[in-house]
Structure 1
Amino acid sequence: MIAATKMTDDASDDHGLLGDRASAGHALSLLLSAGGDGRIQPDPETGRNRYGTRTIPSASEISFASTTASNVSSQGFAAADGQLKRLFGVDGSHAVAMDQWFAEIRDRIGRHLGCPGSGIVLAASGTDVELLALGLTLALSKRPVTNILIAPEETGSGIPRAAAGRHFADATALGYRVDAGEMLDGISADRIEVRTVAIRNDAGQARGADDIDRDVIALAEDALKRDRDVLLHVLDTSKTGLTAVTRAAARHVAGLAPGRVRVLVDACQFRCGSADLRRDIADGFLVAVTGSKFLAGPPFAGALALPPALADELAVTAPLATGLSHYTALHDWSALMRGRTELEFGSHFNLGLGLRWIAALEQLDPLAAVGADLQRKIRQAFADLVRLRAARLDGALIHADDEGDHIVDRAIVPLTITKGSDAFASLAYTQRLHRSLREDVAGPVCHVGQAVNLGSRTILRIAASATDINAVSARLAEGDIFDRAMQPIADDLDRLFDKWAILSRSVRGV
């Protein structure tokens, strides 16, 4: 595993990373898959990680899988290549200090969130962000903490363990071997309880927002009465595009006991507007984002945004749990925040993480210039294109429970998979269909979002990404009419659904 390293801040003597052993492109591809756990390590034969994606541009492959993982874009790869050369001074200029390089990345993220760059903490994944948020909450709290999760089954498989202060895998992104399920050093199990709130009922139907808010408020009030502090999650976008808790309910809970309630907005899909996230920061909420979902950067690029008041609190609190040093590197934090955490960092920096964020920011920066009305128009057109093709596909349907404004708002279209006579397909059948779409047979390699169980049915997800929206916006700026600007997306959807129809017939006997 290529993980983080303990190099000094001056990287000018390390040209060997880009030397004769491999081409610069191959070296960059390896670095883009470094500094993460086993899920992003490439298979030596296929070059693909466990998500089936690659860290080299793959223009011939069709990708509507930004709910799960994406191949790196050509623009993102070029940006990462330029920054890697700048970092190591191979373009003839003086090498940039590592601390400055990571500060620039944090500043770019912070500008989009309305948060000072000094308040941005980088992390390898959304699950790593959960551990950091919990660690910060425990450091700020003198009481035991009740961690209220929203639909962990629609966020990430490791979230429940991380939310309890436990190692969620056998190795960390920084290369440390740990025992999955065991508590992190410095975190006591009796300080944390995890409570969960569902966003769907047992049949897979979305619950009403008022019902979810009532459950959350009741759990928070109960915890406070038992002299516990609260970490409340707001799920901005689930795997299937749903949202819960409402921001109004979150502000209400935070107001029940100022200083004892922390709110963490899980915006890891990054599908809401930057204005919403700026409001969250202004309200004193923590915000978790990743560059590897809607922004279509390579998988494993997370960040936690801290409101200024919370960052100030850390200056007078206890140090963070020592076990977090296995998950976070020195340059993931600003110099200001490092001085306030008193954490002994086991690694200096995670180069792969920085490069993955560079690739993601290459989409976020131009997206910020696309007006909200145009973004919604493109998302609406995308959803309509998918609906039209799904209606003609024998083997999938848009279930009535999944219709709603969230399909357009979040640009995620869930397709319920069927198997003969419109009977719901099994998870095994759906997973095989998903794998077959990624194979180079019966058409181009096609990526869609991984299978998700919703009650008695299983879905695959087709999602637009910032790459799609930016491309349409660019074609409009060049003078195309709207339908023509959408045509490349329509063509890719045609090829995806043509292949899907062939594969549905071939795997139906499973």
Structure 2
Amino acid sequence: MVAAYIGEPDRQTLIESHAGLNAEFFSSLSGDISPDSLFNQLIEALTSGGDARLVLEAETGLNRYYSAPYPRDVIAFASSTANDISRPAFDHLLAKWAAGTPAYSEWLDDLRSRIRSAYSLSRNVEIAFAPSGTDLEYVALAAVAGRSAGGIHNILLGADEVGSGCIFSAHGRYFAETTARGIATTKGDTVEGLETVSLIDIPVRDAEGTALSSRQCVERIRQQLQQAQAADRFPVVHVVHGSKTGLILPSSHDLAELASEWKDRALFVVDACQARMHEDVAAQYLDLGCIVFVTGSKFMGGPPFSGVALIPRDLVEKAAPLPAGFRKIFRAAEWPSSWVGGDDLADEENVGLALRLEAAIFELERYVAIPPADREAVIALFRECVSQMVSANLGFEELLPHHPDEPERGERHPTAMRTLTTLDVSNLDQAPTFAAAQAMHRQLVDHGVRLGQPVKCIRREDEEWAGTLRIGLSMPQISMLARLSSSEAKNLLEEDLARVARAIQRLG
């Protein structure tokens, strides 16, 4: 293995160099937590080993998504964007930090075992880790690099609904000014070894904002597959299991047909980065030969950011050596040991990533331990309370997570996907447009309310995008609510969502 680059501090460096954080950061700190030395060391570690999105602003103690790596007493239904860490997960990390963290490679191997257990995956599934969901795009490109003389044709489904940085990483380019290894790069420059990647975006909505049907989606994917074949480029097809607005495209049936038709001639990647899926769904996609992307910072409820790629072993065995540019982005332990070229990556630790993953998998394990019937009951209560306390109360329409002519898909929409509701708030004087809704989203934070960011998904008559907001439940919230009686859970949800509605009314 190559010598470590200077970039990510190890645990001892974090402890020795810690200069303390501004106490004003913690005005909303949850409960009886005291921001002592151990607390501050953990916060500094949790915000290391990523890109600028992890940085806490000096004025607020929050990152650019208004979330924090410490528990806070705020009303938050923002799992579609970013979470504050839960108190149980934070306590879990504090105990682990105080006891001394394990060696990085051992820690990640343990996390791999726990992920396989939670998702009921076999040992034939390899797992790679990434500093964020955006970095996961590089995994798919590495899996097929060199397979065709003309390079790779990356077919991205719904770029507006999967993350803004993905249009760079999916194109084989750097998406930030600094990588998670602390190495300076130029945003938009090609990652060395990924020079021949073309990218096409297939919108998941038409010009009016209506979601495509599964069949429409398949037709557009098939056109791109044929174009890639004609150009002697190996196609990578990104499908979505849970976009920013809860879309699943194409349907599982249609994806299975496509994957069978193009077996060994294309790679299908399931973007399940929201992680709103039943624990047996990942295995179903993997059985089709797909790579599955999940992140720990959305529905799982972990702190920003962390990424997990679930990869069929045969893809790893057939893969070319990792691109040279990956030495600027990844550490050796983050890749399956059998992937050729992994030994050329830096033999160093990313304590921040390991901690963020630890928190996310802790939440995943708590969630899957809840009986499915209890989860479903909590989610049904959430849906009922959102509709009554917010949508009906304020006259908002709830966006359909499917094409209007596919009501049967709505009836079969997975339970975990029902934890997210996208609201059309354009009837408000202060949020008629997407830009105005963005401003309201920021203002809600000052009122102690965090919701999911607006998404461009509804077209107004004047051709502008309408204002939206998203309300999402997280795994830690479900774990907490499932411990309560039905009446207690309903009362708590009604109280919190009533506060959300009042805050919106004050601003609207």
Is 1:472–2:502 an aligned residue pair? no
Q: Which residue does 1:162 correspond to in 2?
A: 169
In the alignment, the residues of structure 1 paired with residue 314 and residue 279 of structure 2 have an alpha-carbon distance, to the nearest angstrom, of: 20
Is 1:83–2:96 an aligned residue pair? yes
Counterpart contact for 1:36–1:300, Cα < 8 Å: yes
Task: Describe the shift of the 1:117–1:38 C-alpha distance in structure 2 as closer, same or farther (beyond 3 A).
Answer: farther
In the alignment, the residues of structure 2 paired with residue 85 and residue 424 of structure 1 have an alpha-carbon distance, to the nearest angstrom, of: 46
Q: Which residue does 2:44 correspond to in 1?
A: 30
* Count of residues paired in the alignment: 474
Counterpart contact for 1:241–1:407, Cα < 8 Å: no
Counterpart contact for 1:130–1:159, Cα < 8 Å: yes
Q: CA deviation at 1:194?
A: 1.4
Counterpart contact for 1:109–1:117, Cα < 8 Å: no
Q: Which residue does 2:56 correspond to in 1?
A: 42
Q: CA deviation at 1:415?
A: 1.1
Mapping of 1:137-286 within 5 angstroms?
Answer: 137-141=144-148, 143-188=150-195, 191-286=196-291
> Which segment drifts farther, 382-391 or 236-245?
382-391
Counterpart contact for 2:391–2:423, Cα < 8 Å: no
Task: Describe the shift of the 1:427–1:363 C-alpha distance in structure 2 as closer, same or farther (beyond 3 A).
Answer: same
Task: Describe the shift of the 1:347–1:364 C-alpha distance in structure 2 as closer, same or farther (beyond 3 A).
Answer: same
Q: CA deviation at 1:408?
A: 5.7
Q: CA deviation at 1:225?
A: 3.7
Q: Which residue does 1:498 correspond to in 2?
A: 502
Q: CA deviation at 1:140?
A: 5.0
Counterpart contact for 2:277–2:414, Cα < 8 Å: no
Q: Which residue does 1:446 correspond to in 2?
A: 449
Structure 2 counterpart of 1:499, one-letter code: A
Q: Cα RMSD between the aligned structures?
A: 2.7
Counterpart contact for 1:291–1:301, Cα < 8 Å: yes
Q: Which residue does 1:333 correspond to in 2?
A: 335
Q: CA deviation at 1:183?
A: 0.8
In the alignment, the residues of structure 1 paired with residue 182 and residue 19 of structure 2 have an alpha-carbon distance, to the nearest angstrom, of: 26
Give identity over the alignment, percent.
27
Residue-by-residue CA offset, 1:41-94 (whole Å, 9 max, x unaligned): 001232100000111111x21110000001011111111122223334xxxxxx
Q: Which residue does 2:105 correspond to in 1?
A: 99
Is 1:110–2:116 an aligned residue pair? yes
TM-score relative to the length of structure 2: 0.86
In the alignment, the residues of structure 1 paired with residue 199 and residue 385 of structure 2 have an alpha-carbon distance, to the nearest angstrom, of: 41
Counterpart contact for 2:14–2:45, Cα < 8 Å: no
Residue-by-residue CA offset, 1:117-175 (whole Å, 9 max, x unaligned): 97111101111001222122215555522111110100100111111111112121221
Q: After the TM superposition, which parts of structure 1 deviate over 6 Å for at least 4 consecutive aligned residues? A: 18-22, 400-403
SS at match of 1:306: strand
Structure 1 counterpart of 2:335, one-letter code: W
Q: Which residue does 1:462 correspond to in 2?
A: 471
Q: CA deviation at 1:201?
A: 0.9
Q: Which residue does 1:63 correspond to in 2?
A: 76
Gaps of 5+ in 2: 1-5, 21-35, 405-409, 461-465
In the alignment, the residues of structure 2 paired with residue 306 and residue 4 of structure 1 have an alpha-carbon distance, to the nearest angstrom, of: 28
Task: Describe the shift of the 1:253–1:84 C-alpha distance in structure 2 as closer, same or farther (beyond 3 A).
Answer: same
Is 1:313–2:322 an aligned residue pair? no
Q: CA deviation at 1:453?
A: 1.6
Is 1:53–2:60 an aligned residue pair? no
Which of residues 133, 153, 165 in structure 1 aligns to 2:140? 133
Task: Describe the shift of the 1:24–1:118 C-alpha distance in structure 2 as closer, same or farther (beyond 3 A).
Answer: farther
Is 1:413–2:421 an aligned residue pair? yes
